[in-house]
Amino acid sequence: MKVIENYKRAIENSDENLFKELFAPQVRLEIPAGASADHPANTVSHILSQVAKTAPGIKCTLKADAGNNWHLLVFEGQLEGEKLQAIDQVHLNKDGKIDHIIIYMRPIPVAQKFAEAIMQRLHPAR
């Protein structure tokens, strides 16, 4: 499916503009720390465009159709020399746009480092 393939490419290439094409106007984003909120597409595009910048070389190793317009993508990469695995559960609305993303990461210590690193990218000290 083209939307899912483009999502994979956008993650791997930090492509904020490609994300904007894929997202519904509002996207529900659930992150490993447990936070869950609806955000405008531009906000989610910016957040997810930081993934490959935070974990350079991250690659999708598996894609699967989970049914009911849900798709799973498994990404593997490294953060500061430690292996990181992320599973993105992505939902498409009736228009074929991404409207819900649930992100899981492991191992937990690396996921915590990743969360800290990406927050630093999103909110650099002034």
Across the chain, which has 126 residues, the per-10-residue mean pLDDT values are: 95 96 97 85 94 94 97 96 96 98 95 89 74
- Coarse DSSP helix, strand, coil percentages of the chain, rounded to the nearest 5 percent: 35, 40, 20
The total number of structural domains that make up the chain: 1
Phi, psi of 113 (to 5 degrees): -65, -40
Name the pTM for this structure.
0.92
Q: What is the extent of the structural domain holding 78? A: 2-122
Q: What is the CATH number of the domain that holds 11?
A: 3.10.450.50
What pLDDT sits at residue 126? Answer: 52
H-run or E-run covering 48: helix 41-48
What pLDDT sits at residue 115? Answer: 87
What pLDDT sits at residue 124? Answer: 77
